[in-house]
Amino acid sequence: MVEEEQNQHLDDDEDGISKFPDCLLGEILSRLPETKYAVRTGALFKRWKHVWHAVPNLDFVNSFQKSYNPQSNARFFSFVDETLTLHRQWKLKKFRLYSGYNLRLESHVNDWIRYAVNCNIEELDLALWDLEYCTTDRDFPLDQFVFMCSSFTHLTLSGWSFNPTGAISWKNLRSLCISFLKLDGNDLIENILSGSPVLQTLELIYCYGDYRWLDITSKSVKKLVFTGYIGSTDDDYGPGKLFEINAPNILSLTIQGDLWLRKLLLLSVSSLVEAHLNYTNHMGVRGTGREEEETLKGLILNLLHVKDLRIGPSCLDLKWIFFW
Amino acid sequence: MTSSKTIVLRSSDGATFEVDEAVALHSLMIKHRIETGGADSTTIDVPEVTGNTLSKVIEYCKKHVEAPNSDDLKSFDTDFVKVDQAVLCHLAKASYYMNIKGLLDLSSKTIADMFKGKTVEQIRETFHIKNDFTPEEEEELRKENSWNLFV
């Protein structure tokens, strides 16, 4: 009987993909990296015309190069609009959007995010770059409704500005990763932390502005990743550019990327179990290498109690081995 | 030392396989059948899966139950799905019906990777899918989907 089956024409194969139940096809489609591949399957076979509509993940990526081409960009925006019109799910698990944008397209993007939020989205990953950077130098402002979304569990945001008019409420948020956010003082971080009672992982990537310390006393945050520090753009070489981290409850700390500052201090990291240092320290024109050495020594002294301490190659830059 | 209980699994074409209960329980479908089975039935029918495929599924479950932390588990998984598309589809369907999450993840992701980057025609060719749209329906599809032509 088995041999008979093998000799049948493959089109009649009972276990062939053409005979897959819709739910199984949905499992495959939800593992495709971009929604455009899922949409394409609607043209494979009659029965699958609408299967992609039920995929709980939406993934739209407009490449960096393509987004600078107005025609290509317009087609991309049109594709997203039409896909969302057809998709019509009441529940979405993941929504990813990477694209360039300009002021003209701002309302489109806000509509898409609103669609995702209305579908009780859990994981939102949004990276935008301003196509008119040279003239506007502004980040895309996150609409107010985003700050009150209770379905988020994972948020990854790059190239946005945050101006919440009130208290943020992300009651189910477990992981937050923000890149290139302008932070003035610690108020925004405090707002985020007090509005995210179950937040476990916080990652800050090349945030900038007038912010000199991170105070994380939240009991839920256990992992902090600090990647890069630009500081205030008009004060790169100012004296005493000091950054302090106070995080007495975190268990894991990573410091990496390029740090444009004079000194980094860890005020309280008494609960740490693991720490990974792999940053490059740029002290500016006044740096002699001594301050970089002092910073690293200071960090290591503050981390002596840590069970698993790793120091990566970026910290051991060849140029100042000569100073030792 | 107590001898471990064994279960017999019977495929759609009558092939039988004796496996340790712990290995069989890797399939949540079988676990459910055992838990709700009532009398101590030690033979479980799996009518959705042929003997050839069931044998491979058991191989997967054995490895994942008996050596879940082994260093070569990842390479085992990678090699496990280096099979032709027909076998891969059989594995995906079996893992779906038998509710084996790890194998469903593995086989679905492998098939998804094969979809990616191919045109509709190429996917049809790879998976032996018969195009059942009439020429008129295809024309209609092209008109309806002009918005995704850039893909």
Pick out chain A residues at pLDDT < 70: 1-15, 133-138, 231-240, 283-288, 317-324
- Report the pLDDT averaged over residues B133-140: 85
Q: Which residues pair with A201 in a beta bridge?
A: A175, A223
ipTM: 0.88
Nearest CA in chain A to B124: A44
Q: Of B84, B128, B134, B144, which to mutate for an interface test with A (greatest number of A Cβ within 10 Å)?
A: B128
* Radius of gyration (C-alpha) of chain B in whole angstroms: 20
List strands edge to edge, sheet with A274-281: A57-61, A94-101, A123-130, A154-158, A175-179, A201-208, A223-231, A252-259, A274-281, A308-311
pLDDT of amino acid B150: 42
pLDDT of B38 above 70: no
Please report, in angstroms and rounded to a whole number, the separation of the first and last CA atoms in chain B: 62
Chain B interface residues facing chain A, Cβ-Cβ under 8 Å?
Answer: 13-15, 50-53, 85-86, 89-90, 92-94, 96, 104-105, 108-109, 111-112, 115-116, 120, 123-124, 127-133, 137, 141, 145, 147-148, 150-151
Tokens representing B25 are 């329980």
pLDDT of amino acid A314: 84
pLDDT of amino acid A235: 53
B127:A46 CB<8 A:
no
Read off the pLDDT of residues A92-147 as tens digits, 9 standing for 90 and up.
899 999 988 877 777 888 899 999 999 999 999 999 887 776 545 567 788 899 99
- Report the pLDDT averaged over residues B13-28: 93
Read off the pLDDT of residues A193-230 as tens digits, 9 standing for 90 and up.
999 999 999 999 998 888 888 999 999 999 999 999 88
User: What is the Cα–Cα distance from A249 to A220, expressed in whole angstroms?
Assistant: 8
Q: How confident is the model at residue B81 (pLDDT cuts 50, 70, 90)?
A: very high
User: What are the chain B neighbours of A82 within 8 Å (beta carbons)?
Assistant: 147-148
Distance of CA A111 to the CA centre of its chain: 20
Q: Which sign, positive or negative, has the C-alpha torsion A103, A105, A107, A112? A: negative
Contact yes or no for A156/A177 (Cβ under 8 A) = yes
Q: Of B111, B118, B136, which to mutate for an interface test with A (greatest number of A Cβ within 10 Å)?
A: B111
Instruction: Give pTM, 2 decimals.
Output: 0.82
CA–CA distances in Å: residue A121 to residues A141, A162, A173, A206: 19, 19, 11, 26
Read off the pLDDT of residues B47-74 as tens digits, 9 standing for 90 and up.
889 999 999 999 999 999 988 888 889 9
Mean pLDDT taken over chain B: 87
User: What is the Cα–Cα distance from A25 to A2, expressed in whole angstroms?
Assistant: 25
